[in-house]
Structure 1
Amino acid sequence: MPVVAAFAVPHPPVIVPGVGRGRERGIAATTAAYEEVARRVADLAPDTLVISSPHTASYLDYLHISPGRGAHGDLSDFGDRADGSSVTYDEEFVAALCEEAAAAGIPAGTRGEKDPALDWGVLVPLHFIQARLGTDRFKVVRMGLAGFSPIEHYRLGRAVRDVAERLGRCVVYAASGDLSHKLSADGPYGFAPDGPVFDEKVCEAFAAGDFLSLLTLDPGLSERAAECGLRSFQIMAGALDATPVRAELLSHEGPFGVGYGVAAFTPAGPAGSDPSRALEPAYQAWHEERLAATRSAEDAFVRLARASLEARVRTGERLRLPDDLPPELTGRRAGAFVSLKKDGRLRGCIGTIAPTRPSLAEEIAANAVSAGCHDPRFPPVTADELPELVYDVDVLGEPEPVADRAQLDPARYGVIVSAPDGRRGLLLPDLDGVDTVDEQLRIAARKGGVSLTESGVRIERFEVVRHL
């Protein structure tokens, strides 16, 4: 059997009365929509409920599928030990999904689980569904997210669909994920203008069943909105690949500064019967057009960074600097940072605060290689990744001391936080998701292993010229 329904659902623990203790009345529309989802799931009586959650084990380079016979979890981290759930995993489905993913070249499987307990991204949907359907009427497949592109998440969803059909399972898919966490100044993460914009775009896509928009949403917008559910929704979209759907936005609200959206997607025809909804070709065309436009707009600074890393990765040799570089690169010295992104996510960033090479050109060339090959947070860039990379080059101005935090602005100035013993952390300006001075200083201090409260801490600011 195919996937018979899919639902996008949020996971605010406060919606569970034992956690909310009355505050759950503030999200009554979400509660009502969740009750409707649970009613529909109970009516469908699925054999297997597949749930993806951003709070299940997640890795940059691996999509985790929970192993074993089952698991239990509760909401004690939120002050409610009494509310929890136990599930039995569909081990046959998990094994088949791992095989299907391997055959499709998707890095996914059951390795690397450190904590088997159910997370709140799973517990909140189960709170409603098990109340309607009971705990023994269905089995569960539980999946995390990864640092992969939207299409890799989509492909895993398509594998879910294919396994459901192969095993003859009646499957319901639940994509657990909140929308923006930056909808109001008094919310837990503050306000960002892109928060409401993100919610509006996702809710429009939910209402229209426009899954391509979920795959092509601007990664920068997602980062600035501080969302957690988009990749979960992208897997869900793949579970309905090439399938006509009836889409319903059941509710959306954000009274606590976090966006909660509930949507339902019901197949309106046989799985695979609508080629226009097989979205991988359309996504790939969009992706290639976007990369080509980015590359065609690169200036000499970015072209030099790209050429330097590509030479090292492909040949193992250092790039011989071109003879036609402009004087701004060859005739001056400055510190510079080179940042790499892949699918909108950081893939490496290395730089120098002050010049260490005879020219800015040599500074950029060396730092590009370091960003791609020696950033300890990431494995070295491979030749296959080179066409996918997007480069930023930041040329640093002279740092100047800061006597008062009012002199800082995370959109305009980078910061350097230094301790008397030489520990030092730096953060560039105008970064997605870094909206406040406090946030900027906290990140910079953490990078340098510096406490902002220790004696003798010095703060400096600097401006950059950013080349994209």
Structure 2
Amino acid sequence: MSVLNGIAVPHPPLIVPNVGRGEEKKIENITSAMEEAAQKIVEAKPDTVVIISPHAPSYYDYIQLSKGAYGEGDLAQFNDPYDRFRIPYDQELVDAIESICMENGIPAGTLGKQDGSLDHGTMVPLYFLKSLAPETKFVRIGLGGPNNKVHYQVGQAIQEAAQKLGRKVSIVASGDLSHCQKAGTHYGYRPEGPKYDEKIMEILGDGDFLRLLEVSEEDAEKAMVCGQKSFCILAGALDGLSVDAKALAHSAEFGVGYGVATFTDPKEDLDRHFLIMAEAQDRNAYEERIKKEDAYVKLARDTINDLIHENELVIPSASLPSEMLEERAGVFVSIHKNGELRGCIGTTEPTEANVATEIVRNALAASMRDPRFPAIQPWELEELEINVDVLGKPEIIEDESQLDVKKYGVIVSKNGKRGLLLPDLEGVDTITKQVSIAKQKAGLLTDEPGCTLERFEVVRHV
């Protein structure tokens, strides 16, 4: 096998004695487990160790591989002037992984800033790998904005590149678990924290990488996790292989979850191609979801999909409902992902020949030109939730008593400045708050007097 084994480990700097200065003794079970896990890699005698770190350079739309002759760093920022690290990079393997990613449209490679410095997510595992043969080389990979499945694909590319070059590689997935395990600690307590850790340790202990891919980014964010995508790359590198999976230890002593697991003795297993299964599940769920969308939302989604997949603009079909082709109105297209706003652009008055072309215009702008967000990427498309709001004609009102945050949107204007807020928005539950936000959007003070108020109704399509 080109992939010899893999380990999932945390990276608390205090586990290094020169940093912890006695505090590390409080998590001796983690220290012992990391020593055991590291020994598995040392004994396997890999040509190259791939280390995946959440604290390596990170980009929203890209997963970076470090390039160059070597990387080096120290733990001085953690008041440890003694522990220093210098690792030679396997440039040939880096090039092979990047080439495979480019061929397969995976947003990963060596683009971006490269300064050769190592991060603590890399150096803490290196501390436990000091016994590796001196000729061992390394590949360092960061994480990025792409979803679990894209990170899994990077792992697959590692396996393929290693096979092509005849490299024997071991994988180190560096990553802490939930950061919200205890009240009174830096990140505090959330119930999602312990629940996540229990679930992920069970998944890692079972080697159930399909369940790993099914853990939503929303759940991981609520639990304040940094390691999940590291584990997905590790899982991808073991794609199509059965492994002896063992969860060795877990601790939340300092309010952050630390977990250690090993994956050894890989053997070919055609039933463990988990990305194929996950993509089929996600595709079925996506198709069921879009079946419920009406013509307005379907047109917005088709516009976004065709633009990003094919770089083509949708031309509204004559088969659309007549009101979409005959009526004119302002339209807002709102895009959400994992419950968070991902883009929203609209027009308060009609600017196009009909509602259909208004939707096309604003769907394009919301997905690519909202200045608050980067452009939507291909790997996000099936995760998007899209709303289309068709605005009624605004009417001037005398005062705020004529508003209703659930029923009416509001337009606030003064001296050529104009701000709009849609109705029935999450977190906007009072008229005062609705008007205040609209004033801010207009560039006015929240208590600005003498503003003109308009209200409008909205037909929301979901």
Q: If the TM-score is normalised by the length of the shorter chain, which range does it land in?
A: 0.7 to 0.9
Is 1:350 the counterpart of 2:344 in the alignment? yes
Aligned-residue offset at 1:186: 2.2
Cα distance in 2 between the residues matched to 1:22 and 1:425: 57
Distance 1:265 1:317, change over 3 A: closer
Cα distance in 2 between the residues matched to 1:377 and 1:194: 28
Distance 1:466 1:90, change over 3 A: farther
Cα distance in 1 between the residues matched to 2:323 and 2:254: 53
Moved more, 202-211 or 303-312: 303-312
Cα distance in 1 between the residues matched to 2:10 and 2:461: 38
Q: Which amino acid letter does the alignment assign opposite residue 39 of structure 1?
A: Q
CA contact (8 A) 1:147 1:345 kept: no
Matching residue of 1:175: 173
Matching residue of 1:27: 27
Matching residue of 1:120: 120
Which SS does the other structure have where 2:263 is aligned?
strand
Cα distance in 2 between the residues matched to 1:90 and 1:129: 17
Cα distance in 1 between the residues matched to 2:100 and 2:339: 26
CA contact (8 A) 2:300 2:333 kept: no
Is 1:283 the counterpart of 2:284 in the alignment? no
Moved more, 368-377 or 230-239: 368-377
The normalised TM-score by structure 1 is 0.74
Matching residue of 2:259: 261
CA contact (8 A) 1:349 1:375 kept: yes
Q: Which amino acid letter does the alignment assign opposite residue 287 of structure 1?
A: D
Query: What does 1:26-425 align with in structure 2 at a 5 Å threshold?
Result: 26-130=26-130, 133=131, 136-269=134-267, 273-298=268-293, 302-303=297-298, 305-306=300-301, 309=304, 316=313, 323=321, 338-341=334-337, 344=338, 348-351=342-345, 367-376=362-371, 380-381=375-376, 388-393=382-387
Aligned-residue offset at 1:320: 8.5
Matching residue of 1:12: 12
Which SS does the other structure have where 2:385 is aligned?
strand
Distance 1:423 1:292, change over 3 A: same
Q: Which amino acid letter does the alignment assign opposite residue 127 of structure 1?
A: Y
Aligned-residue offset at 1:144: 1.1
Cα distance in 2 between the residues matched to 1:338 and 1:172: 44
Distance 1:429 1:119, change over 3 A: farther
CA contact (8 A) 2:45 2:132 kept: no
Aligned-residue offset at 1:87: 0.8
Aligned CA-pair RMSD: 4.4
Distance 1:139 1:185, change over 3 A: same
Q: Which amino acid letter does the alignment assign opposite residue 53 of structure 1?
A: S
Distance 1:276 1:395, change over 3 A: same
Which SS does the other structure have where 1:73 is aligned?
strand
Aligned-residue offset at 1:299: 5.9
Distance 1:346 1:232, change over 3 A: farther
Matching residue of 1:437: none
Q: Which amino acid letter does the alignment assign opposite residue 138 of structure 1?
A: T
Q: Give unpaired runs (5+ residues) of structure 1.
A: 397-421, 432-443, 451-455
Cα distance in 2 between the residues matched to 1:386 and 1:324: 31
Aligned length: 419
CA contact (8 A) 2:297 2:461 kept: yes
Cα distance in 2 between the residues matched to 1:394 and 1:317: 16
Cα distance in 1 between the residues matched to 2:447 and 2:265: 60
Q: Which amino acid letter does the alignment assign opposite residue 244 of structure 1?
A: S
Aligned-residue offset at 1:43: 2.0
Q: Give unpaired runs (5+ residues) of structure 2.
A: 391-416, 428-436, 449-457
Aligned-residue offset at 1:11: 0.9
Q: Which amino acid letter does the alignment assign opposite residue 184 of structure 1?
A: K
Distance 1:347 1:286, change over 3 A: farther
User: Percent identity at matched positions?
Assistant: 38
Aligned-residue offset at 1:254: 1.4
CA contact (8 A) 1:347 1:378 kept: no
Larger Rg: 2
Matching residue of 1:412: none
CA contact (8 A) 2:295 2:321 kept: no
Aligned-residue offset at 1:7: 0.3
Q: Which amino acid letter does the alignment assign opposite residue 20 of structure 1?
A: G
Distance 1:282 1:320, change over 3 A: closer
Distance 1:68 1:308, change over 3 A: closer
CA contact (8 A) 1:347 1:372 kept: no
Cα distance in 2 between the residues matched to 1:182 and 1:465: 40
Q: Which amino acid letter does the alignment assign opposite residue 74 of structure 2?
A: D
Matching residue of 1:3: 3
